[in-house]
Amino acid sequence: MQTAQVVIPGDLIDLSIGHPSLSLLPLEIMQRAAEHRLNQDDPALLQYGFEQGCGYFRKSLALFLKGQYGVPVNPGHLFISNGVSQALDLICTLYTRPGDLIFVEEPTYFLALRIFADHRLRVVSLPVDEEGLVVEALEERLAKQRPVFLYTIPTHQNPTGVTLPANRRRRLVELSKEFDFLILADEVYHLLSYLQEPPPPFGSFISEGSVFSLGSFSKILAPGLRLGWIHASPELLRPLALCGMLDSGGGLNPFTSALVRSAIESGLLLEHLERLRAVYQERLVAMNSALRSELPGLLRFNEPRGGFFFWIALPEGVHAPDLLPKAQECRVNFIPGIRFSNCGGLGNYLRLSFSYYDSEELQEGVRRLAQVLRTGL
């Protein structure tokens, strides 16, 4: 019987997987949080929930985010979601119509492209450099076309790992006002910074422009919780809280929210997050040094400062999809860059994830990859 979304054969080192390892999933924290919450004798957590999300939970979450962001967060500006994927889907449902134009980064999170395709949106890609979205390219595009929204992953981007600096963030917000489009900032890796503090999240710009900042517990606690938040102004959140789906079904995930509230208020979430940062930093360093020692000079890549991914440029003329069958024969896997392109580009890039395996397994995975590259070039 299959339980998890992905089942990895024991002998394969699957560097395509951006999931946490089973050993990092916090059974004990959830057990303690459940025990605490279920002992409160409050059956309301099993009732249809308040549409915007339980007020007590939003208050705890707002305090937690304030501690992390270093700027105040108003609980009234938070809407509880089932995670970033569902938040994107809901925003597309309520703010777009089939055929509408949106802008994304090239490369971008490939599964967001699937969600946009479900909504029949027309997608235009904008280039990313070592500092994230190239704002001049956006300005040039805006002179010709107006999108309903721009989808960006500003911090430790999936797949490139790059982070948009503060000045570009500010400029994006200015442009969104000037040209009247929404910003959907997918900030799922913002709290997973290991080697340097990220610039302020887009959540700190919600009073200055039409900004949705999307967060999730998937990467900082557990993806199976299906819990996240949308941080935006009350005007932007209102259509979400008033939508038909919530009118019928109530707020999203009230039971899990109540448990996670205990995990936040007890300090267990913060403790866990600090542990995750230490473990992922060690894995990042292990993958970085394995890539440098196994494949010196052959590959081009920037060392990420957080998140889960290395984005690797292969030598000119080497097509990543062609290497995949050979890699799988050698019991290693990756995602070819083309999956992250909206226009069939990025053929000589690949993405490696360091979230799922421990340092030794990552080193072995890179060794296998090096063997494939040396024989395949």
Ligand X SMILES: Cc1ncc(COP(=O)(O)O)c(C=O)c1O
Binding-site ranges for ligand X (CB under 6 A): 18, 83-85, 109, 153, 158, 186, 188, 216, 218, 223, 228
Taking the least distance from each CB to ligand X, the nearer of 81 and 363 is 81
What are the phi and psi torsion angles at 257 (to 5°)? -55, -40
Tell the smallest beta-carbon distance from residue 228 to ligand X (Å): 5
Taking the least distance from each CB to ligand X, the nearer of 203 and 223 is 223
User: Half-sphere exposure of residue 181, counting CA atoms within 13 Å on the CB side?
Assistant: 24
Which tokens go with 135? 């704002």
Q: How many angstroms separate the CA atoms of 53 and 43, rounded?
A: 16
Q: How many angstroms separate the CA atoms of 308 and 40, rounded?
A: 37
The DSSP 8-state label assigned to residue 251 in this structure reads: B
Taking the least distance from each CB to ligand X, the nearer of 84 and 260 is 84
Tell the smallest beta-carbon distance from residue 145 to ligand X (Å): 24
Q: What are the distances in angstroms from CA 236 to CA 51, 96, 107, 136, 241? A: 14, 13, 27, 27, 10
Tell the smallest beta-carbon distance from residue 83 to ligand X (Å): 3
Taking each helix axis from N to C terminus, what angle separates 268-294 and 55-69, rounded to the nearest 10 degrees?
A: 50
Taking the least distance from each CB to ligand X, the nearer of 155 and 348 is 155
What are the phi and psi torsion angles at 67 (to 5°)? -60, -35
Tell the smallest beta-carbon distance from residue 220 to ligand X (Å): 10
Residue in the shown chain whose Cβ atom is closest to ligand X: 83
Tell the smallest beta-carbon distance from residue 370 to ligand X (Å): 26
Which of 186, 182, 211 is closest to 100 using CA atoms? 182
Tell the smallest beta-carbon distance from residue 47 to ligand X (Å): 24
Tell the smallest beta-carbon distance from residue 224 to ligand X (Å): 9
Look-up of token digits 């003329």? 317
Question: Would you say the C-alpha torsion 188, 344, 95, 148 has a positive or negative sign?
Answer: positive
- Strand-pair category, 122-129 with 132-133: antiparallel
Tell the smallest beta-carbon distance from residue 201 to ligand X (Å): 14
Taking the least distance from each CB to ligand X, the nearer of 214 and 320 is 214
Taking the least distance from each CB to ligand X, the nearer of 18 and 49 is 18
DSSP calls for 203-235: GGGTTTSSEEEEEESTTTT-GGG--EEEE--HH
Taking the least distance from each CB to ligand X, the nearer of 154 and 318 is 154
Taking the least distance from each CB to ligand X, the nearer of 229 and 318 is 229
